Structure 1
Amino acid sequence: MWHKFHQGRCYKYVIIPKKNYFSMVPTVYYKLHYIIGLLLLPMITSGHNCQHFHPKADEVVHGVRIETADSLHPHQSTHSIHKRSTDAADQPLRILLFYDESVFRLDEDKFELINNTVLPEAVQFWEQALMVRETKGVIRLNRKCNSTQVFVKNGLTHCIDNCKKVTMCGEVEVPKEHLDVCRVCNATGQNCRNDESTQAGEGIENADFIFYVSARQTERCHKGLTVAYAAHCQQEAHLDRPIAGHANLCPDSISTKPQELQTLLSTVKHEILHALGFSVSLYAFFRDDEGRPRTPRKPDTGKPYLNEKLQIHQWSNQTIRKVVREKWAVRGGHVRKVVDMMVTPRVVDEVRKHFDCPLLEGAELEDQGGEGTSLTHWEKRILENEAMTGTHTQSPVFSRITLALMEDSGWYRANYSMAAPLSWGKGLGCNFVMNSCKEWIQANNGSTSNERDNWLRYAGNQI
């Protein structure tokens, strides 16, 4: 049994009621003028780590047609590229949730919390924070192919000989009602046709992104250490925007304690954003304001080149650039440190203003934590309680920097009024953001005992 939920609208499927909650993003107003705060980072950081299991290139389905009101032909899958503007073409993002049966096997109190509070608030936050080119008509997702090779004919994706019997999005089986017909060619790309044993489903209306939700205690749940994980699974043909994704909630890790609600809510918002665009698997598909790819595409497939080691599409240095810090202070001397910086224009502008550092090349990405954390989160050292760092901290906030990244993807326009103030590092200059903690501490070791007491008091309030 599938249950469909979108802004309280009733469809063919059983409706999931939605309560009218407003997103509550906690804000902490403090000034980072005291060195001892850097020494107390382990004390004020909670133990919830994000392991973003980004999909490999062959796990993502591309080329989903979006039917629009101005389509000139039923087989037309791409349209003229329009520059990003502020006109009526951009509408609030509409996220449609689909639960699979595992969600209804949750304990009653956990189900009520997830269904009535956490998911509605998290979805509402991103629907208010992001605007998108409106999707008109019906979305039908593509069926997965048995082979990784596909043919594109007249803008339509064709499998070789046959499609998979079941199309998955994460742990969730996509209902046949959401799928397009199976299209196939032979191994040489000839005799292309519709597979007559399949038919197109009714599709999804009044949505821009379909989010499949499960609640299974999988191996990825790491025995209670992971609360949830999410990723995209299909991208549309026009601008490569992710159009479908999934989230799995780990039942054993869901806490119904009132004091942990904000942490749970922030975690789910965080995971949704991975599926919408903040993912190492999507950086290579970012576009500029004119709709042009920031990363060169292969002439035969129209996709970016593949990073064979990571098995994801490789981005260009217009998106992420390696920057060398020649004299990075460490215990016993200096080392040469290479950092990965997000260098898209709005992100650069926001981090320079935040830190008051006109020399800053971009926003530093996390370089630790392994495949599930590095590169797909902000660097914890300089953006401590920004919600898109890899370790959840007390009082996380989604700042203008994160919204700037989503806008720089070329898929969204951000509503910056939804951003919460980020005080960590604000106005501390290039010496703070471009050097190591050790060097910063040494340069500011004249702090008074009163300043240390203030930091101890702050840390005590966060524990």
Structure 2
Amino acid sequence: MAREKFKVGEKPQPIRIKTWTPRESPVLSQQEAKRLDAAISDAISTMSNLLAVRRVSRKLLLNRDINKYCRFIWRNSSCANYNKCGRANDNFRTESCLGVTIPDDHLSGCAVYPHPDQPDVRVIKPDGAGLPDTDVLLYIKAQSTDKCRADSSVLAYSAHCQSDSGGRPVAGVMVICREPLSIEGFSHDHLVQTMIHELLHVLGFSKELFSKWTGRSLFSQMAVDISHGHMIYMDESGQMRLYTPNVIKALHTHLNTTHMDLGAPLENQDADSRGFSSHWEARFLQGSIMAAMLAEPSLVRIDMITLSALQDTGWYSVNLSQAQNLLWGESKSGGFGCHYLHLHKGVCQSDQYLDGCRIYKPLANGSECWKEENETGNGPEVWSGEMFRSDSRCFLSNIIREDHFSFNASVSGRCYRHRCTGTNMYQIQVMGSDWLDCPPGRSIQVFGYRGEIFCPDKRLCRYRMVASPHKPLPSGPTGPPSRDQLLTQKPITDMKIDTALPSSEMCVMTVVGVSIGLFFFGSLMIIHRKCCPSRLQVHVLIQPYALQV
């Protein structure tokens, strides 16, 4: 265990993460280094704003692995030097983790006791200088490794290296694939979120560390029994789930249910032989920072369920006030046709993490309603009344200008301006129209246009985080390392599961004009059935085990 001390009862303080560039790291260009340093700074600032720990009071020193530097160990418990090294391994050179050489200055010393009962000792390596003001040491290197070259979708991967006497991780390695640092379409925010994702793996959200979670609050000595055998197991549908107190509580709130057996589902596509994964299941917790694939930055949330999992490690005091609302699956999950945050128009697609289910993902080009440059002044937007502004959002619509030659248009995602008038209350504006009330769960007609616009319920004007894209959250035992990777080079903008709406919910829509209403309703059903055929329906969890195949 890494050497550390803290005072009993000491109040947790913001975590201090120190980064170190290994000597074997390649030399980066000025542009690459600048981009990397800026992302590291923002990611660490975010983590310090989220997590607090009982700080290491002395300089942080990592331990050497006795099984590496020692040829044999005194195993007779009656010996004075029981469990100490009896003879050094002449081939031992240094400690490493995920291909990174750990400097001697960061390591505690090691010694040999030639006799089992005599105090004679021979120092092989003295204690290093250690690292002051450090709670976690993160080795970061940007390199085009074999793993990066083997799969161009890999942006970064990480490993936990060592823990302290209480099990809390104090050292880890993060490898950033170098190629994305120099591409023309480089995204600072995307790299920051990638680093936050990998940091969360290092700090405890990892299948290799689940068994170390204590459930003990930093403010109390009482622990909840979350031993490995009781924390993760398979539900009756075959889904592996994480069952810890705060995670269950967060899920109850998120899904508006009190089901006693509700646990957070773990990804099955990257599971190990035990069925354990270091990611949330994409079908159920899409948009979470700990999904296996991350969407573009504006669509990713550092959500309450993930922060609750960090609480359940027992190592951190978590700033839950910084949790971002995860709209996916919330309550009954009304709304359909657009990305579930309504920032983009979408197309119905799938990927390897959705097990055959299809969801709405942003169109390849021009899907952002909030980008003014997407308004070309010609094409469909002219007759559909679309407006691309910073306050525009995606609405399911089939409106068409009355003077347009076509009699009707298909129902699809369209971009219109919106403004909030209260909680879950808003108005919209179409090209050439005044601001119009848009009653959630109903549809409206617009003067000068044929067709209707559907007003999504419980999706707009509810959360301050659902805004046009901005920067992420503001700042304010030794052994083989665990490895986790994030596949995000090709941005997977995974969107909302198109839910099967019972007829009673579909009837909530108020239609002005029977014939137009029937047309609109029929169009919605056609889109719905095309996107999610009955054999591949996924219902958002209101009660557990709602997956239907």
TM range (shorter): 0.5 to 0.7
Matched residue, 2:240:
340
Q: Paired residue for 2:197, among 270, 280, 301?
A: 270
Matched residue, 2:96:
168
Q: Is the 8 A contact 1:224 1:252 kept in 2?
A: no
User: What does 1:45-444 align with in structure 2 at a 5 Å threshold?
Assistant: 63-68=1-6, 70=7, 88-101=10-23, 103=25, 105-115=27-37, 117-147=38-68, 158-159=84-85, 161-162=87-88, 164-184=92-112, 195-221=122-148, 222-237=150-165, 239-257=166-184, 260-289=187-216, 290=221, 292=223, 294=225, 315-317=228-230, 319-325=231-237, 338-359=238-259, 361-371=262-272, 375-394=277-296, 395-428=299-332, 441-442=499-500, 444=502
Structure 2 unaligned blocks of 5 or more: 334-355, 359-496, 507-520, 529-549
Instruction: Give the aligned residue type for 2:135.
Output: D
Matched residue, 1:333:
none
Normalised by the length of structure 1, the TM-score is 0.65
- Could you tell me how far apart the structure 2 residues matched to 1:235 and 1:160 are? 25
- Distance 1:344-1:294 versus aligned 2 partners, 3 A rule: same
Deviation at 1:174, TM superposition (A): 0.9
Deviation at 1:106, TM superposition (A): 1.9
Q: Is the 8 A contact 1:230 1:248 kept in 2?
A: yes
- Could you tell me how far apart the structure 2 residues matched to 1:156 and 1:173 are? 29
Deviation at 1:101, TM superposition (A): 3.8
- Distance 1:350-1:410 versus aligned 2 partners, 3 A rule: same
Q: Is the 8 A contact 2:240 2:276 kept in 1?
A: no
- Could you tell me how far apart the structure 1 residues matched to 2:526 and 2:45 are? 40
- Could you tell me how far apart the structure 1 residues matched to 2:525 and 2:101 are? 54
Matched residue, 2:515:
none
- Distance 1:250-1:160 versus aligned 2 partners, 3 A rule: farther
- Distance 1:138-1:150 versus aligned 2 partners, 3 A rule: farther
User: What does 1:8-19 align with in structure 2 at a 5 Å threshold?
Assistant: none
Matched residue, 2:345:
none
Deviation at 1:157, TM superposition (A): 7.6
- Could you tell me how far apart the structure 1 residues matched to 2:82 and 2:204 are? 24
Q: Which whole-Å deviations, capped at 9, do the CAs of 1:183-237 have from their partners, x for residues lacking one?
A: 4467x97668754131001111111100011122222213422111112101111
Q: Is the 8 A contact 1:294 1:316 kept in 2?
A: no
- Distance 1:259-1:250 versus aligned 2 partners, 3 A rule: closer
Instruction: Give the aligned residue type for 1:214.
Output: K
- Could you tell me how far apart the structure 2 residues matched to 1:125 and 1:213 are? 17
- Could you tell me how far apart the structure 1 residues matched to 2:246 and 2:81 are? 32
Q: Which whole-Å deviations, capped at 9, do the CAs of 1:34-55 have from their partners, x for residues lacking one?
A: xxxxxxxxxxxxxxxxxxxxxx
Normalised by the length of structure 2, the TM-score is 0.55
Deviation at 1:374, TM superposition (A): 5.4
- Could you tell me how far apart the structure 2 residues matched to 1:183 and 1:450 are? 77
- Distance 1:132-1:248 versus aligned 2 partners, 3 A rule: same
- Could you tell me how far apart the structure 1 residues matched to 2:197 and 2:116 are? 41
Q: Which whole-Å deviations, capped at 9, do the CAs of 1:41-87 have from their partners, x for residues lacking one?
A: xxxxxxxxxxxxxxxxxxxxxx222134x5xxxxxxxxx7x7xxxxx
- Distance 1:156-1:173 versus aligned 2 partners, 3 A rule: farther
- Could you tell me how far apart the structure 2 residues matched to 1:411 and 1:251 are? 32
Instruction: Give the aligned residue type for 1:426.
Output: E
Structure 2 residue matching 1:114: 3-state secondary structure: helix
Deviation at 1:161, TM superposition (A): 2.8
- Distance 1:363-1:191 versus aligned 2 partners, 3 A rule: farther
Structure 1 unaligned blocks of 5 or more: 1-62, 71-79, 83-87, 297-314, 326-337, 430-435, 456-463
Instruction: Give the aligned residue type for 2:87.
Output: D
- Distance 1:158-1:216 versus aligned 2 partners, 3 A rule: farther
Is the deviation greater in 189-198 or in 361-370?
189-198
Q: Is the 8 A contact 2:81 2:116 kept in 1?
A: no
Tell me how large the CA RMSD over aligned residues is. Answer: 3.6
More relative contact order in 1 or in 2 (CA 8 Å, sep 6+)? Answer: 1
Structure 2 residue matching 1:212: 3-state secondary structure: strand
- Distance 1:356-1:270 versus aligned 2 partners, 3 A rule: same
Structure 2 residue matching 1:279: 3-state secondary structure: coil
Larger of the two Rg values belongs to structure: 2
Deviation at 1:175, TM superposition (A): 0.9
Instruction: Give the aligned residue type for 2:134.
Output: A
Q: Is the 8 A contact 1:100 1:212 kept in 2?
A: yes
Instruction: Give the aligned residue type for 2:3.
Output: R
Instruction: Give the aligned residue type for 1:120.
Output: S
- Distance 1:193-1:291 versus aligned 2 partners, 3 A rule: farther
Structure 2 residue matching 1:100: 3-state secondary structure: coil
Q: Is the 8 A contact 1:67 1:139 kept in 2?
A: no
- Distance 1:220-1:416 versus aligned 2 partners, 3 A rule: same
- Could you tell me how far apart the structure 2 residues matched to 1:347 and 1:417 are? 16
- Could you tell me how far apart the structure 1 residues matched to 2:300 and 2:209 are? 24
- Could you tell me how far apart the structure 2 residues matched to 1:417 and 1:231 are? 28
Structure 2 residue matching 1:210: 3-state secondary structure: strand
Q: Is the 8 A contact 2:61 2:131 kept in 1?
A: yes
- Could you tell me how far apart the structure 2 residues matched to 1:416 and 1:258 are? 33
- Distance 1:204-1:104 versus aligned 2 partners, 3 A rule: same
Q: Is the 8 A contact 2:180 2:186 kept in 1?
A: no
- Could you tell me how far apart the structure 2 residues matched to 1:269 and 1:371 are? 23
- Distance 1:427-1:178 versus aligned 2 partners, 3 A rule: same
- Could you tell me how far apart the structure 2 residues matched to 1:111 and 1:196 are? 39
Question: What is the aligned-residue identity percentage?
Answer: 24
- Distance 1:151-1:118 versus aligned 2 partners, 3 A rule: farther
Instruction: Give the aligned residue type for 2:48.
Output: E
Matched residue, 2:388:
none
- Distance 1:131-1:151 versus aligned 2 partners, 3 A rule: farther
Instruction: Give the aligned residue type for 2:321.
Output: S
Structure 1 residue matching 2:130: 3-state secondary structure: coil
